[in-house]
Structure 1
Amino acid sequence: MPIDATQPYDDGNIFARILRGEIPANRVYEDEHALAFHDIAPQAPVHVLVIPKGPYVSWDDFSARASDAEIAGFIRAIGHVAREHVGRGYRLLANTGGDAGQEVPHLHMHVFAGGPLGPMIAR
């Protein structure tokens, strides 16, 4: 169900539970600021999610409240995943809010790769 990106952080969301180790994930990268893991319902041959470790609902929330170190660390984690886990090209996607289709109220970046990805937006 799409969410309101301005809602308060829900520490019971699936990504918060993954961060706490309550739910397993196929992890591909982790550092002090971010965690990356394979999506359980991949939409491309390679589909990795990168999440900040802090409690942020959306880009708006993250950019307003995260420290400079958290922001830099998250961006570097996305870059690391792109370099280490994709081929010739990739797409980054962050859905923010219900109109964009955000389903988990924790900021996350999708990294898609592994072949032609088609148009940016379904017509």
Structure 2
Amino acid sequence: MADNKVLIVDDDNRNIFALTAVLKARGYQCISATGAEEGLEILTNDGDIAVVLMDMMMPGLDGYEAMARMRNSPELKDVPVIAVTAQAMLGDKERCINAGAAGYISKPIDVDELIRMLNLYVLTE
């Protein structure tokens, strides 16, 4: 198992590019999906993903529904999800955690905070 593989699910390629650059520089393997449907497909086919960074607001299937599907899947229910959202409003963190997220981070992303969160779920050695 690749203990440092992170799946980034975001509908904005600029966010994927920036997160991938930062995480690869710190020793993480990154794969990405530009939508939740694609992200769920990757998760289903790749058992090596240690953690998912999930954008919550995407067209079509959003992060909340994607997490609900993961929690209802025996194969995916234990994969930790860190919710990533630009909606840093009161109650958003609780909504994400209640939906099944293991963690929550708002945009613009504080890289040090993100790395601390990832280190709870990912081995970089």
The two structures have a TM-score, normalised by structure 1, of: 0.30
Higher relative contact order structure (alpha carbons within 8 Å, sequence separation ≥ 6): 1
Query: Larger % of helix: which?
Result: 2
Larger radius of gyration: 1
